[in-house]
Amino acid sequence: SGPSNSQSLTLRHTNSLSHPQAPGGGNGRPYTCPYCTKCFTYPSHQRRHLLRHTGVRLHPCQFCDKSFLTPSELTVHTRTHTGERPFGCAQCGKRFARSGNLRAHQRDVHMGKRPFACTECGKRFAHRGNLRVHNHRSTLYFTPL
């Protein structure tokens, strides 16, 4: 007799990890996630992404009950407990726990860039969240009756 339904699902799932699917729309990312619409160039990236769906979190925080998928996520989280801010701005000295926050600070404060624009009025914002607030307020006050 053949494999049971659960074995069959496991076999198909395993095959989808090691054998690329036909490229979705020719985007050059043949490894697709069986749970969502994401596609990946490399099977290792696909496997890492799949951890998001399976809920397996092998990296526990020593300070609280949270666990994380990757060591790097744990490292960033641990800084919320230790107060460590290893990324410093060369221009003003302000320090950050995340490198992305330093980049955003440099872009917004020192370069004056405002990459997020309202499609209705053209007003520009340094942060996506501020644009969302603007759009929400505009909808509240300017929706036709």
Please write the tens of the pLDDT for every residue from 40-90.
999 999 988 998 898 888 899 999 999 998 899 999 999 999 999 999 999
By residue range, what is the domain housing residue 44?
A: 16-51
For residue 33, being part of any structural domain is answered with yes
Within a domain: 73 = no
CATH code where residue 45 lies:
3.30.160
Residue 119, pLDDT above cutoff 60: yes
Domain contains 136: no
Mean pLDDT, residues 98-122:
89
111 has a pLDDT exceeding 70: yes
* Confidence tier at 139 by pLDDT (50, 70, 90): low
Domains contained in the chain, number: 1
Higher pLDDT, 119 or 6: 119
Residue 34 lies in a domain: yes
Closest CA to 62 of 34, 81, 89: 81
pLDDT attached to residue 37: 87
* Mean pLDDT confidence for 88-114: 92
- For residue 91, being part of any structural domain is answered with no
Which carries the bigger pLDDT value, residue 145 or residue 113? 113
- pLDDT tens across 10-48, in order? 333 444 444 444 444 457 889 999 999 899 999 999 988
Helix axes 5-18, 43-54, angle to 10 degrees: 140
| Token duo for residue 6 | 């659960």
Q: Is 33 exposed, middle or buried (0-12, 13-18, 19+ CB in 10 A)?
A: middle
d(CA 3, CA 68): 34
